[in-house]
Structure 1
């Protein structure tokens, strides 16, 4: 299992400090693979004990085992790295991008979603994985330009708490890949029962999350890796549909 897959597997157990540490390490694997826990802690501006706790949340016995994993991860990346741009095939990503734009343009419920952004007392957003959460954070940053605050729900624990207090005057946006709700099924159903307006953002397929949501936004992902549940374009097109949603909302506000 690679680092990205581990992050997704244990995402609900990770707090903001854990995600900060993992984000730095994942972007600097070659640098970190030979460093001590103290050195990594200095890079991340946290304590060594924080690093150790984070590695244990990822199922490692301690930092020594994690560092060995990082060395293997660095070697794996080198082996799979494309040596020359001539081997890069952009046709799959381009197809996904075009299909995602087409799906968005065909959506008949966009104005209702835009109106919910303006009228809701509170707007919450939950990503079912690490990558989905990152895309939602970028979307949240964009909305702040227009004084709209998107409350990012950081983990399943907070989602459970919010599911008990969220009201029909609020709005929930849920970003997922497959729409599989195994780990959050009861919470999403409880929110739906409370008649809270819900917008799902998933791949174009029949899925339980889309079924429960009031409004559905879709993005296209081809050649999905069955092991990691990711491919080169999964976050590209998720980011695209959220960007389209933002641009559409801004134009809607200007015309209103």
Structure 2
């Protein structure tokens, strides 16, 4: 299950200043809120109970009680140090609103350019081939300079999809910066963490697969990444059968 802080990151585009005020109070009194009533939290955070209920629903909870119980379970899980299920967490991270918005952009885009480097090349090729199944023209170029040349010919009517497990690849971030200057819509696909790439993205799609290395080799679990990409493709294919 996603933690409270992870839900904040996932749904941050929904949140307003009042939500941030309540969240700040909850984070500062994380243990105490599990023993507080909604009226007490509202009074301490200078808001009203209905606003807290709305916040809970924005964060994907059924309501205040669900949010409070989830925080309690989270505290207990932390004490037991229970490892997370990366595939289950990836499923919880998928935001269908963003998936639908990305597909709308794909549908309208004159050109779609996909880019990633290193181990992400495999993911880029998989995604491009999947969209081509239903004759959606997508482009992927292995060489950075070719990609930059193609990007320079793109306009705000096009779309750039960037894949980076860490979200910190300098080459990918450089491309995002160039696209931002040209007002080209950007979709980032990264591991669920605060990273540099998401700061450039108009839409952020997440999987949960923390980078892992063994004896200088990348052993990051690819299953959650492919799960997200497959979900994107299957949702797109549904409308093009």
Please classify the TM superposition score into its range, dividing by the shorter chain length. 0.5 to 0.7
What stretches of structure 1 of length at least 5 have no aligned partner? 1-90
Which segment is superposed worse, 134-143 or 181-190?
A: 181-190
For 1:100, the equivalent position in structure 2 comes to 90
1:136 is the counterpart of 2:129: no
1:251 is the counterpart of 2:238: yes
Specify the SS of the correspondent of 1:139.
helix
For 2:65, the equivalent position in structure 1 comes to none
Query: What CA RMSD, in Å, does the superposition of the two structures yield over aligned residues?
Result: 2.4
Q: Distance in 1 between matches of 2:151 and 2:173?
A: 11
1:120 is the counterpart of 2:114: no
Specify the SS of the correspondent of 1:205.
coil
For 1:42, the equivalent position in structure 2 comes to none
CA deviation digits over 1:196-247, x for unaligned, max 9? Answer: 01111100011111110111111111462287473351x2221111101111
Q: Distance in 2 between matches of 1:215 and 1:227?
A: 35
TM superposition score normalised by structure 1: 0.57
1:198 is the counterpart of 2:186: yes
Which segment is superposed worse, 175-184 or 143-152?
A: 175-184
Q: Number of matched residues? A: 160
Q: C-alpha displacement at 1:136, in angstroms? A: 1.9
CA, structure 1 residues 223+172, in 2 after alignment: closer, same or farther (shift >3 Å)? closer
Q: Distance in 2 between matches of 1:176 and 1:229?
A: 17
Q: Distance in 2 between matches of 1:171 and 1:226?
A: 35
TM superposition score normalised by structure 2: 0.60
- 1:92-241 residue pairs with structure 2 within 5 A? 95-104=85-94, 106-129=95-118, 131-222=119-210, 224-225=212-213, 228=216, 230-233=218-221, 235-241=222-228
- Checking the alignment, whether the CA contact within 8 Å between 2:115 and 2:140 is kept in structure 1 is yes
Q: Distance in 1 between matches of 2:213 and 2:158?
A: 35
For 1:60, the equivalent position in structure 2 comes to none
What stretches of structure 2 of length at least 5 have no aligned partner? 1-81
